[in-house]
Amino acid sequence: MSNWTPPERPAWVRQIIDEGRHMDIRSLVPLEASELMAAACQNTGFDDFGSDEWLEGFHVFLKALDEEADLHLLGRLMTRSDILRWLEARLGIEAAYAQNPEIEDEVIDSPVIVTGLPRSGTSILFELLAQDSQFGSPRNWEIMFPYPPPQTSTYESDPRIERCEHLVTQWNRVVPTYASMHEMGANIPNECIVAMSCTFLSENLPGQYQIPSYNEWYYQQNLDYAYAYYKRMLKMLQWKNPRQHWLLKAPSHLGNLPVLYRNFPDAQVVISHRDPLVAQASVTNLLGTLYWMRSSQGFDASAFESLMAPEAGAARLDAVVDLLESGEVGQDSVSHVLYAQLVQQPLDTLQKLYSDMGLPFSDSSRQAMQGYLDEKPQGKFGKHRYQVGEEQENKRKRALFQRYQQYFAVPDEV
């Protein structure tokens, strides 16, 4: 992590950052709790943020931004925009339930939830499964702007789509190399932790900012509230636009399986497995790029040692094995996909996955997935380049991950 080198910024981004160096950007772009909440209320016309469980995380997050994130002018503008959208999403969700209490009666039926190591193929697996009409996934635009509840008749033409498209692709314009790491778009399904951002109890926040104090606070919290509120959002999203089965995804679920099953007891979880050495090198580059979008401070590797150190990573993976071996998580509610097989034989791998889940794999779904692959060959947006470390260090790490790799038959890539 210490060797990560930031990419060159576009000229227009450098100019905005340089202009901001001589301005009082904290006064120009305030990130103060009561002012942000008042602005969100004024923007929406609503004033009920729901129960107070989210407030502690909100204040911890804002304090960490102020003291640790070192946001430049453009980063501060992007951050204020994000926070206001999260607050406005809360206000909209609460307004929808107040206006239509029958939303609470909606049933989230047997969702399929994709997880695995970050950068282990969870995104492409998620996007391929989303081609199957029996699944419905929360798209970027409805996560970003959930109110008013989406409707089937206007789901493909909603004006919120255009606004979201500009905002999510802004990341590529600020740091063009990001496009090689993760495709962005209003109609692309997005991760659960992005939707959970409006709870301010989400791994999405330390994934975008260097805020070690929030990081430390977050990993001491009970996450049931964030999962329960996400379920509340999903009920609202399906109310006027039904989904047969939700298809959801976040790598962070891998470390939260008991919480996930408490809130989605009939879920079928799909875990994607990849050589941890390669996956970790890839996610390091992703994190560095995300931080670079909003701040010019150096990448503080020490702030993430507890999360990114191979010892910590191996312990989290061993904990998944423990859950399965102990029966705390039922083997029949979890399916497994190897990244290497998914890349080499995607449709055959998916055929086996459907069989494991006991779900039909129709010809129309197969054709739709093949069409998606044809339109998105690997490397379409550029090669995602990263380093995997020195040979001697890799041998040490490999020993730490031995139990995980043997249990799930994960092949070495290095």
φ/ψ of residue 73, rounded to 5? -60, -50
Category of 327 on φ-ψ map: left (φ > 0), alpha (ψ -120 to 50) or beta: left
- What is the pLDDT at residue 301? 62
Question: Do the beta carbons of residue 363 and residue 276 sit within 8 Å?
Answer: no
What is the C-alpha to C-alpha distance for residues 306 and 311, in angstroms, rounded to an integer? 9
> Model-level pTM?
0.92
pLDDT at 280 over 90: no
Structure tokens belonging to residue 270: 């799909």
What is the C-alpha to C-alpha distance for residues 197 and 57, in angstroms, rounded to an integer? 10
pLDDT at 356 over 90: yes
Question: Do the beta carbons of residue 217 and residue 74 sit within 8 Å?
Answer: no
DSSP assigned state of 148: S
pLDDT at 35 over 70: yes
Task: Kindly report the number of other CB atoms within 10 A of residue 9's CB atom.
Answer: 18
- What is the pLDDT at residue 19? 95
Return the CATH number of the domain spanning residue range 106-408: 3.40.50.300
- What is the pLDDT at residue 397? 85
**Which residue do the tokens 């740091």 mark?**
175
What is the C-alpha to C-alpha distance for residues 167 and 20, in angstroms, rounded to an integer? 21
- What is the pLDDT at residue 107? 97
* Predicted confidence (pLDDT) per residue in 207-264, tens digit: 899 999 999 999 999 999 999 999 999 999 999 999 999 999 999 999 999 999 999 9
Within the chain, how many helices (H) and strands (E) appear? 20, 5
Which of 194-198, 274-278, 381-385 holds the top average pLDDT? 194-198
Category of 50 on φ-ψ map: left (φ > 0), alpha (ψ -120 to 50) or beta: left
Q: Please tell me which residue, 376 or 179, carries the higher pLDDT value.
A: 179
- What is the pLDDT at residue 307? 56
pLDDT at 200 over 90: yes
| pLDDT confidence bin for 382, thresholds 50/70/90 | very low
CA 180 → CA 116, 117, 121, 164, 241, distances in Å? 20, 19, 14, 20, 32
| pLDDT confidence bin for 277, thresholds 50/70/90 | confident
